[in-house]
Amino acid sequence: MQDGTLSIIVKQLGSDVEGSFSDWSAAINFDETPDADGKYGDVEVQISIPSLTLGSVTDQALGTDFFDASAHPTATFTADIRADDPGYVADGTLTLKGTKAPVTLPFTLTLDGDTATMTGQTTLNRTAYNIGESYSDESSVAFDVVVNIDLTATRAAAE
């Protein structure tokens, strides 16, 4: 991965609050021809939770009731890549705040020589990861969190 943006949108008191992680990496294995199981490859994403900025609520989001960044500084997403009309899907597991849950991330992919450009979006339910447990209804903070990812990657030279 050479460049990218990993952002989230949460709804707080009825308004969208946008944020992003400044420190994350993706190790992507991709082949344009699927294997016998229909898999085009796999991906592992490492996200530094303390690198989140989320408007005026950054400190609260990093605190113990939400991401608990000091106790759980890294989130990991591992997935297999498969075809999904009209693009692809990364179907795997997100480990966040010590909890694992399945995640499906549909995305589009453009290949130009050894450069790949990817754009994807998925929606997570924060309660699946014990985030914001004291907000048991959606009157203050919505359950759904929209995750957007855009990245550009360059194929590594063959060894």
Least confident span in 21-25, 122-126, 155-159: 155-159
pLDDT above 70: percentage of residues in the chain: 99
Nearest Cα to Cα of residue 68 among 99, 103, 26: 99
Q: Within 13 Å and on the Cβ side, how many CA atoms surround 4? A: 25
Average pLDDT over every residue of 104-120: 94
DSSP, collapsed to helix, strand or coil, labels residue 60 as helix
- Give 159's pLDDT tier (boundaries 50, 70, 90): low
pTM for this entry: 0.94
Q: How is the beta sheet containing 52-53 ordered, strand by strand?
A: 24-30, 39-48, 74-84, 87-96, 99-112, 115-125, 141-154, 3-12, 15-21, 52-53
Average pLDDT, the chain: 95
DSSP secondary structure letter of residue 110: E
CATH topology (fold) of 3-154: Lipocalin (2.40.128)
Domain coordinates in residue numbering, the chain? 3-154
